[in-house]
Amino acid sequence: MIIAGLILAGLAALVHVFIFYLESIAWTGEQARRVFGTGTVEQAEALKDLAFNQGFYNLFLAIAVALGIGLYGAGQVAVGATLVFTGAGSMAAAALVLVLSSPDKASAALKQGLIPALGIIALAIGLSL
């Protein structure tokens, strides 16, 4: 279960790196505008500073998870697991906030939060055995 939890958390980190890319690098591009529903390039430009900052939040969560996986693999179980729980837990919590504040974005929240939530559950079960 521990390995499954770490793999799921790692996949969640990859998703959040992609979100970082969309928000901080490709924000005004067609793909990012389609994913986030920002419409025209001009509309995306109006939100560019906010998206840029938000993208880095996603990147930092992914980095925390990746560091946690690496440290866990290096034998630093407590520190590694703590970082994975913190990073993936924040991802899942952000998804919960999204669906509670904007129920019409439930699909996005599910994409953002399901994998890290499953990773947390699997890791917690594995560590408790």
Mean pLDDT value across residues 45-56: 97
Comparing CA positions, the residue from 23, 72, 77, 31 lying closest to residue 50 is 23
Mean pLDDT value across residues 75-89: 98
Mean pLDDT value across residues 20-49: 96
Percent with pLDDT over 90 in the chain: 100
Place of tokens 């560019």: 48
Mean pLDDT value across residues 56-79: 98
Residue 86: the pLDDT is: 98
Stated as kind and residue range, the H or E segment containing 47 is: none
Residue 45: the pLDDT is: 96
The angle subtended at Cα 92 by Cα 64 and Cα 123, nearest 5°, is 65
Residue 108: the pLDDT is: 93
For residue 118, CA distances in Å to 14, 22, 54, 55 come to 15, 24, 23, 23
Residue 54: the pLDDT is: 96
All structural domains of the chain with their residue ranges:
2-128
Mean pLDDT value across residues 24-52: 96
CB 75 within 8 A of CB 54: no
Task: State the chain's mean pLDDT as an integer.
Answer: 97
